Amino acid sequence: VSNSFPEKIDTLWLDCHLVTLADAGQYGSIENGAMIVNQGQITWLGPADQLPSDIEQRSTQVHHLDGAWVTPGLIDCHTHLVYAGNRVSEYEMRLNGASYEEVARAGGGIVSTVKGVRAAEEHELYEQSRPRLQEMLAHGVTTVEIKSGYGLDVQNELKMLKVIRRLGEELPVSVHATFLGAHAVPVEFKGRADEYIDLIVQEMLPAVAAENLAETVDAFCETIGFSLDQTEKVFKAAKKHGLAVKLHAEQLSDLKGAVLAAQYDALSVDHLEYLDPSDAKILADKNCVAVLLPGAFYFLRETQLPPVKQLREAGVSIAISTDCNPGSSPSLSLPLMMNMACTLFGLTPLEALRGVTINAAQALGLKEKLGSLEIGKLADFVVWDIDSPAELSYRIGGNPCLKVVKNGEIVHQAKRF
Ligand SMILES: [Zn+2]
């Protein structure tokens, strides 16, 4: 904490309790705190009684927060937020007793979302996705990762990535784009997955890189997705184009995708219900984040739990995300995912909060400028109507978000009851 204060201050935030998350293993709370923001960056924070007496006169704007709690802006580091249509009818069919085969025959499953995305014009896809991102923002999200993966051909994957870019340009949320061409084998390549991988490596990825449409490359490594060999081909191509990788791994079986991803310096490996507990150490050694997705676990009524104890003991950074997608996790609420991560996976409320802030920032390679309240970091934060930080994880649903601040500006203000 610095004792020098700038002569002129853009914005002064007063009457609040800060959850800084500046150090591992603790909230780093500052009760009766204050924060100074200049040019979108945090330039001072600490106990309000350390402020000089003339500080309000020196400030262009002063916000009094009536004793509310302030956390870093939430970061949703794994979403499939851009899609067309939804899968409500297949959800209802299944609950009426239809089998997966019957759902598939009725045109359900990922195939139906691919059809919807291919049929949608770029602007339609944008118009359908935009309200979802606005709802995420209203739940405290200031940075989001969004994947392609429902186009599954050159033209439609590029269309999705352009929509993803435009969302970040037009809404006050930072958007990190991931190319997920290897999400599923499209119907026209049925039984020819290797040929589809060739298309990804030879045409899709070069086009994505040439237009600078993605920061990272992802794949679905699974018995019902792509094999370890096919995944490695995608990773090699990503590296050739200078793109970082991440992976959907060990969701339904242990194919050792997480170990492969760690060898390619993946930023994160995601899902991990079937991760061999002894592989946790490999992730720790490579600083690879374990992203847990309790929404999909819940919605699919899975029973195999991710090895949280071993991840924790090995010192792996754990992040939590919505996995927002129409098929297995139609959720836009990170606070709800925090509750599920605690209740279903046994995370502590502190781990859940770190999982949607500083560790999620690490999962996107953004830890240096986001994820905690510290001098020099971007002034992305959320003002909450809660009495203690653990209350964010305690609630099942609801939305205690009062204000969202992005680069020092209020970009969302909740209506209160
Ligand atoms: Zn996913």
Query: pLDDT at position 322, please?
Result: 98
Mean pLDDT, the chain, whole residue set:
96
The DSSP bridge pattern shows strands 216-221 and 174-182 to be parallel
The band of 417, judged by pLDDT with boundaries at 50, 70 and 90, is low
184 C-alpha to ligand 1 centroid (Å): 12
Residue for token pair 């998350």: 21
Query: pLDDT at position 5, please?
Result: 84
Helices and strands counted in the chain (H then E): 16, 15
384 C-alpha to ligand 1 centroid (Å): 28
Query: pLDDT at position 4, please?
Result: 73
What does the DSSP 8-state code read for residue 277? G
46 C-alpha to ligand 1 centroid (Å): 38
CB within 8 Å of 66: residues ≥ 6 apart: 15
- pLDDT above 90 for 1: no
- pLDDT above 70 for 118: yes
44 C-alpha to ligand 1 centroid (Å): 37
Region 309-335 average pLDDT:
97
11 C-alpha to ligand 1 centroid (Å): 38
Closest C-alpha among 268, 255, 267, 263 to residue 282: 263
286 C-alpha to ligand 1 centroid (Å): 22
Kindly state the helix (H) or strand (E) to which residue 91 belongs, with its residue range. Answer: helix 88-95
79 C-alpha to ligand 1 centroid (Å): 6
Residue for token pair 């970009």: 411
- pLDDT above 70 for 2: no
Region 396-417 average pLDDT:
94
Kindly state the helix (H) or strand (E) to which residue 61 belongs, with its residue range. Answer: strand 59-72
49 C-alpha to ligand 1 centroid (Å): 46
Please state, in angstroms and rounded to a whole number, the distance separating the CA atoms of residues 375 and 1. Answer: 8
29 C-alpha to ligand 1 centroid (Å): 33
112 C-alpha to ligand 1 centroid (Å): 17
Region 167-188 average pLDDT:
97
Q: What is the pLDDT of residues 223-252, one digit of tens each?
A: 999 999 999 999 999 999 999 999 999 999
Give the percent of the chain with pLDDT over 70: 99
Closest C-alpha among 324, 243, 315 to residue 285: 315
Region 312-317 average pLDDT:
98
42 C-alpha to ligand 1 centroid (Å): 33
Give the percent of the chain with pLDDT over 90: 93
32 C-alpha to ligand 1 centroid (Å): 39
Region 12-18 average pLDDT:
98
Query: pLDDT at position 70, please?
Result: 98
- pLDDT above 60 for 3: no
417 C-alpha to ligand 1 centroid (Å): 34
67 C-alpha to ligand 1 centroid (Å): 37
386 C-alpha to ligand 1 centroid (Å): 30
Please indicate, yes or no, whether the overall pTM of this predicted structure exceeds 0.85: yes
Contact (CB, 8 A) for 382 and 70: yes
3-state SS track over 394-409: HCCCCCCEEEEEECCE
Query: pLDDT at position 76, please?
Result: 99
385 C-alpha to ligand 1 centroid (Å): 30
285 C-alpha to ligand 1 centroid (Å): 24
Region 11-15 average pLDDT:
97
Q: What is the pLDDT of residues 252-292, one digit of tens each?
A: 999 999 999 999 999 999 999 999 999 999 999 999 999 99
- pLDDT above 80 for 222: yes
Please state, in angstroms and rounded to a whole number, the distance separating the CA atoms of residues 292 and 273. Answer: 8
Residue type, 115: K
